[in-house]
Amino acid sequence: MNEFQRTALIAGGILAVLAATGYYFYEPAVAPVDEPAAAVESSTPAAPGDAPPATEPLPDHYPVPVAAEDATPLPELSQSDAPFAAALVALLDADKIAATLVPEQRIRRFVATIDNLPRERLAINDRVFKRIPGEFAVKSRDGTYASSPSNEARYVPLVSLMRGVGAEAAAKLYLRFYPLFDKAYHELGSPDRHFNDRLVQVIDHLLATPEVQSPIELVQPKVFYQFADPALEARSAGQKMMIRMGSVNAAQTKAWLRAFRAQVTGAATPAG
């Protein structure tokens, strides 16, 4: 295994860990368990590069730690798909890669997903992961709705993948590929900002997600299901995802994100 292959493999793990935080919102169908599937939960895609909402503060600056020297040159962002995919296929099962990842523009898609997580909606067309298998299950009884605890099992493979990629190793390779992530972020319309600052801001936003025990009460005012609690419904796309994945998966995800944050900032992480 050469250095570029090792780099691509763990960078793939980074994509899996962080971009998976938007995974739920690429599921267009939300079917009740014991009623006909009449409702669809979906969000109108946000356009890539949309200006941050006025209520969203600018991120603090977190200088990128100096990465270890590596003689292997990075490809151009526009040419990064083929070598990255080739390295992954050489190490992982090609069918699993094809079934899980959108095949083109993976770094750009990752950056767009992260950038939109603190907002109300995600850009569905910019997803890096394909739709998670199965459907989000909703239980209905006597005219009331609640999320099914069985949904949490659907996230276990993703959380297991995250935990299998050590935060230190993932951060090392993130820093190795950082110029490409930063360039992709500039393309979204933020030429004077740094992707690492935005990444840390988004991690802190996800860490601030409250813990909510399942089952979660839902309402169906029109076509789409919503959280019955208005305070939960008002939360961002990323925080809603953290809530819907279940408290155990969310706790494990937060632990990994804290460790990763420390590696890419060299600073203490919030207790959250």
pLDDT of residue 43: 36
pLDDT of residue 156: 81
- What are 30-41's pLDDT values in tens digits? 444 333 333 323
- Please state, in angstroms and rounded to a whole number, the distance separating the CA atoms of residues 32 and 126: 27
pLDDT over threshold 90, residue 271: no
Average pLDDT score, the chain = 74
Query: Which amino acid, residue 96?
Result: K
Give residue 55's pLDDT band: very low, low, confident or very high (50, 70, 90). Answer: low
Nearest to 268 by CA among 36, 62, 13, 30: 62
Nearest to 20 by CA among 123, 171, 158: 158
Residue 55 makes CB contacts below 8 A (sequence gap 6+) with none
Higher pLDDT, 119 or 163: 119
pLDDT over threshold 60, residue 176: yes
Helix and strand numbers (H, E) in the chain are 10, 5
Higher pLDDT, 74 or 124: 74
Token couple for 2: 């050469």
Give residue 140's pLDDT band: very low, low, confident or very high (50, 70, 90). Answer: confident
Summarize the confidence of residues 99-109 as an average pLDDT. Answer: 75
- What are 61-93's pLDDT values in tens digits? 988 887 555 557 889 999 887 766 765 565 455
pLDDT over threshold 90, residue 187: yes
Token couple for 168: 């230190």
- What are 197-238's pLDDT values in tens digits? 999 999 999 999 999 988 899 998 887 889 999 999 999 999
Summarize the confidence of residues 42-51 as an average pLDDT. Answer: 39
CA 85 to each of CA 96, 102, 225, 239: distance values in angstroms, whole numbers, following the listed order: 12, 11, 37, 30
pLDDT of residue 25: 39
pLDDT of residue 239: 95
